[in-house]
Structure 1
Amino acid sequence: MQHLEEQIAYLSRTVDELNEVVTSQQADLDLLKRRVQMLMEREAQREAEGSGGAVFGDERPPHY
């Protein structure tokens, strides 16, 4: 019986530790989602303004 109680205590501690990890990862995911959304909105705004600013290959930038 004591062996089972020890296993339950160990498993409970493990579940608590895993819950902390999952909670932390969810917070990180939420932050990253917000940042990606902000970047997507910024890029959409940049495209709407027509000032993408990307130079491809040997193409000269417009200020030359």
Structure 2
Amino acid sequence: MVDSFIFKQPVFVDGLVSFYVNIIKIGRTSINADVLVYTQCENGKKVCIQVAETMLTNVSIDNNR
């Protein structure tokens, strides 16, 4: 489940996108994670900028999933 998703900047076609995940909480059947999204290319420059962030909750449905 996506709790929130915030787009801060556009990502250009030639941009390299990196996702950094910070585990907030690990429960018995769920994991909460904060994800920061960065790109390393802004108008051809080698500049690292944050383009999005999201808070995710992954929940186990049963033993097979």
User: What TM-score results when the alignment is normalised by the length of structure 1?
Assistant: 0.18
More helix by share: 1
Say which one has the larger Rg: 1
**Alignment TM-score, normalising by the size of structure 2:** 0.17
